[in-house]
């Protein structure tokens, strides 16, 4: 039901049941918020969104208060502005004030609010919070003195990721956000997804940077500097640098990376094609052997850690095929090293990715051979953008260049792996082609693509009904459990930790809206629709790898380098 309310002496239409904030925003009136996150029930914790409602003594929080027919609201009265200003001044009163050196400098919600509210001096002085820097995690750094206790990270970790690795600790002035038993992050159940980093409004949580290390190696003439980047990095870099993404931007990125000093530039997509091919082989074998348990795809490193910690009974069902990053990494340190006539340790191998958990994955024991890691440094898209800016590359004035063989090309199936359901679809498409010698109609996968936390479909392949399920974000696991308990059987199950898949990866530009995530996914589907090569087995780079390079190289011909193992992990809960 629609009704009229008065806001700032003007009439606007409001809808029964919505909050004051929602009515204001729909009518183009923006007020600041801090603890609120869209799609979450409001907590009213920060009071940044307060407004004045005639007849009420106290200011009310617009994000949690339902709008009512009789309301006369003031959104920017002197009383309201003073209240908001005082909230920010209190938050700043014990803040470290090291904006210039902060990870979120110029991209911080607290800084923006202080600027918007015209705060020009420190009126309120409080004892500074003792600096506490937790760098123990391979993916995430916590700077507790910058935390404003908004609770966004706690809620995302519990309600979206279900890892519940963060919580409020202590009371009163001692309150802070911490990991289990207030220990360092590396002892916690964190699965390194980075979704908490994506929602933190300040520099209290950020990715662990490996930029200094990359810069150091770029200056070592005795090293071969190599970089791989995944398909989502191409879109993400355009977004982060404020450039318009056009088809062929990957070739511009190749040229940029060479100008920075990388000797070889590879596409992780070739590794994704290998990953799809190997998983297809595993699935085919399981179907032939009439396996009664499903094969779980293991390409998402945060999901793998989740299984190792919380559902170790699933480990035997996890595909042992490495992730695209690690497959590309191992090919660099074996095949490429051989082609260049250098030792693996003479190559410095960087991976640029939209994922924060891949920083952790690169350091897993199983991703090293004889003490040498296959991927030496992992950069998020934001870090790579910093590197590009640091090197002063004029991105508007650069000639396009191809990537380097043997990993210069990929199929569109490799891009599909960036969206939830895409990897499962690619495996099914490959299996269909392998058995039926023709590509299936993409319409058959409609059910895997449409929204929802849990999706399922089946495909008739060689007289067998191949059943597949997709879990889009870990909250969807509950639905999978219910479905399995009801007796449903699946041959293949894909689970992605970040809702929507890698298009929502925590290494991509900050604060993506739902629409922005959707438009990244749209770009993925568009590429799949417009590119000519839709299957790994039709990609020249993948064919060359399987038909020639692996066969010619006796050390890796058995393809064991593409496989790994997973183990139960004990963590403090």
Which residues of the shown chain bind ligand SF4 in the complex (CB under 6 A)?
140, 147-153, 156-157, 161, 163, 165-166, 177, 190-196, 199-202, 204-205
- Residue number with CB closer to ligand FES (21 or 474): 21
Distance CA 67, CA 94 (A): 35
- Residue number with CB closer to ligand FES (36 or 267): 36
Q: Which does 416 bind (CB under 5 to 8 A by kind): ligand FES, ligand SF4, none?
A: none
* Residues of this chain that bind ligand FES (CB under 6 A): 33-36, 42, 44-49, 61, 63
How far apart are CB 192 and ligand SF4 at their closest, in Å?
5
- Residue number with CB closer to ligand SF4 (167 or 263): 167
How far apart are CB 161 and ligand FES at their closest, in Å?
21
Under a CB-based contact definition with an 8 Å cutoff, are residues 478 and 495 in contact?
no
Look at the block and give the residue holding tokens 């059943």: 467
Look at the block and give the residue holding tokens 């999706």: 455
Q: Which does 265 bind (CB under 5 to 8 A by kind): ligand SF4, ligand FES, none?
A: none
- Residue number with CB closer to ligand FES (35 or 448): 35
- Tokens matching residue 29: 């009136």
How far apart are CB 62 and ligand FES at their closest, in Å?
6
Please return the burial class of 423, using the count of CB atoms within 10 Å of its CB with bins 0-12, 13-18 and 19+.
Answer: buried
Q: Which does 177 bind (CB under 5 to 8 A by kind): ligand SF4, ligand FES, none?
A: ligand SF4
How far apart are CB 498 and ligand SF4 at their closest, in Å?
9
Conformation bin of residue 566: beta by default, left when phi > 0, alpha when psi is -120 to 50: beta
- Residue number with CB closer to ligand FES (47 or 467): 47
Cα first-last separation, the chain: 46
Under a CB-based contact definition with an 8 Å cutoff, are residues 482 and 462 in contact?
no
Distance CA 211, CA 390 (A): 10
Report CA dihedral (230, 235, 237, 241) to the nearest 10 degrees.
Answer: 180
Q: Which does 407 bind (CB under 5 to 8 A by kind): ligand SF4, ligand FES, none?
A: none
Q: Give CA angle at 271 (503, 256), nearest 5°.
A: 70
Q: Which does 33 bind (CB under 5 to 8 A by kind): ligand SF4, ligand FES, none?
A: ligand FES
**What SS3 state is found at 103?**
coil
- Residue number with CB closer to ligand FES (150 or 388): 150
How far apart are CB 56 and ligand FES at their closest, in Å?
16
Q: Which does 165 bind (CB under 5 to 8 A by kind): ligand FES, ligand SF4, none?
A: ligand SF4
- Residue number with CB closer to ligand SF4 (190 or 253): 190
- Residue number with CB closer to ligand SF4 (294 or 354): 354
How far apart are CB 58 and ligand FES at their closest, in Å?
13
- Residue number with CB closer to ligand FES (47 or 538): 47
Q: Which does 238 bind (CB under 5 to 8 A by kind): ligand FES, ligand SF4, none?
A: none
Under a CB-based contact definition with an 8 Å cutoff, are residues 334 and 327 in contact?
no
Distance CA 409, CA 538 (A): 11
Q: Which does 49 bind (CB under 5 to 8 A by kind): ligand FES, ligand SF4, none?
A: ligand FES
| Residues 6 or more apart whose Cβ sits within 8 Å of residue 9 | none
Q: Which does 44 bind (CB under 5 to 8 A by kind): ligand FES, ligand SF4, none?
A: ligand FES
- Residue number with CB closer to ligand SF4 (285 or 478): 478
How far apart are CB 322 and ligand SF4 at their closest, in Å?
22
Q: At what angle do helices 268-288 and 231-240 cross, to 10 degrees?
A: 140
How far apart are CB 102 and ligand FES at their closest, in Å?
22
Under a CB-based contact definition with an 8 Å cutoff, are residues 230 and 269 in contact?
yes
Under a CB-based contact definition with an 8 Å cutoff, are residues 160 and 194 in contact?
no
Look at the block and give the residue holding tokens 């629709």: 529
How far apart are CB 150 and ligand FES at their closest, in Å?
7
Alpha carbon 308 to its chain centroid, in Å, reads 20
How far apart are CB 165 and ligand FES at their closest, in Å?
23
Conformation bin of residue 298: beta by default, left when phi > 0, alpha when psi is -120 to 50: alpha
Report CA dihedral (164, 170, 171, 176) to the nearest 10 degrees.
Answer: -70
């Amino acid at each position: 039901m629609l009704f009229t309310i008065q806001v700032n002496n003007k009439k606007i239409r409001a809808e029964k049941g919505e909050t004051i904030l929602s009515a204001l925003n729909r009518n183009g009136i923006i007020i600041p918020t801090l603890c609120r996150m869209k799609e979450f029930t409001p907590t009213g914790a920060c009071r940044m969104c307060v407004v004045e409602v005639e007849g009420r003594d106290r200011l009310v929080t617009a994000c949690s208060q339902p709008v009512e027919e009789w309301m006369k609201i003031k959104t920017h009265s002197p009383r309201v502005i003073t209240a908001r200003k005082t909230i920010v001044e209190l938050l700043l009163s014990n803040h470290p004030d090291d904006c210039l050196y902060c990870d979120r400098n110029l991209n911080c919600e607290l800084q923006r609010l202080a600027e918007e509210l015209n705060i020009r001096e420190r009126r309120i002085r409080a004892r500074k919070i003792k600096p506490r820097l937790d760098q123990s995690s391979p993916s995430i750094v916590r700077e507790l003195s910058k935390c404003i206790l908004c609770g966004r990270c706690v809620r995302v970790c519990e309600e979206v990721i279900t890892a519940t690795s963060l919580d409020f600790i202590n009371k009163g002035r001692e309150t802070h956000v911490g990991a289990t038993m207030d220990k360092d992050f590396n002892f916690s159940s964190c699965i390194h997804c980075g979704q908490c980093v994506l929602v933190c409004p300040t520099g209290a949580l950020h990715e662990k940077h490996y930029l200094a290390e990359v810069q150091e190696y770029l200056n070592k003439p005795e090293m071969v500097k190599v970089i791989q980047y995944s398909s989502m990095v191409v879109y993400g870099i355009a977004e982060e640098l404020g450039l318009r993404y056009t088809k062929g931007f990957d070739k511009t990125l190749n040229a940029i990376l060479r100008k920075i000093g990388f000797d070889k530039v590879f596409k992780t997509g070739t590794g994704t094609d290998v990953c799809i091919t190997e998983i297809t082989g595993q699935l085919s074998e399981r179907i032939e052997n009439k396996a009664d348990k499903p094969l779980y795809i293991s390409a998402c490193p945060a999901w793998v850690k989740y299984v190792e910690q919380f559902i170790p009974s699933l480990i035997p069902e996890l595909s042992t095929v490495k992730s695209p990053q690690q497959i590309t990494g191992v090919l660099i340190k074996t095949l490429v090293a051989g082609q260049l006539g250098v030792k693996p340790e003479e190559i410095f191998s960087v991976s640029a990715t939209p994922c924060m958990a891949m920083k952790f994955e690169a350091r897993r024991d199983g991703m090293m051979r004889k003490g040498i890691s296959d991927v030496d440094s992992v950069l998020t898209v934001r870090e790579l953008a910093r590197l590009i800016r640091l090197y002063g590359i004029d991105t508007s004035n650069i000639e396009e260049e191809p990537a380097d063989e043997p990993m210069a090309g990929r199929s569109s199936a490799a891009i599909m792996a960036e969206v939830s359901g895409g990897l499962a679809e690619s495996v099914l498409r490959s299996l269909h082609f392998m058995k039926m010698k023709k590509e299936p109609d993409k319409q058959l996968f409609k059910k895997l693509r449409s929204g929802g936390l849990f999706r399922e479909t089946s495909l008739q392949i060689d007289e067998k009904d191949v059943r597949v399920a997709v879990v889009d974000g870990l909250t969807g696991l509950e639905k999978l459990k219910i479905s399995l308990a009801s007796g449903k059987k699946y041959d293949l199950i894909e689970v992605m930790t970040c809702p929507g898949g890698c298009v929502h990866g925590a290494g991509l530009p900050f604060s993506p809206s739902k629409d922005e995530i959707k438009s990244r996914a749209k770009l993925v589907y568009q590429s799949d629709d417009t590119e000519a090569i839709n299957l790994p087995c039709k990609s020249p780079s993948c064919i060359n790898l399987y038909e020639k390079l692996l066969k010619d190289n006796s050390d890796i011909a058995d393809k064991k380098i593409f496989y790994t193992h997973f183990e139960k992990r004990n963590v403090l809960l």
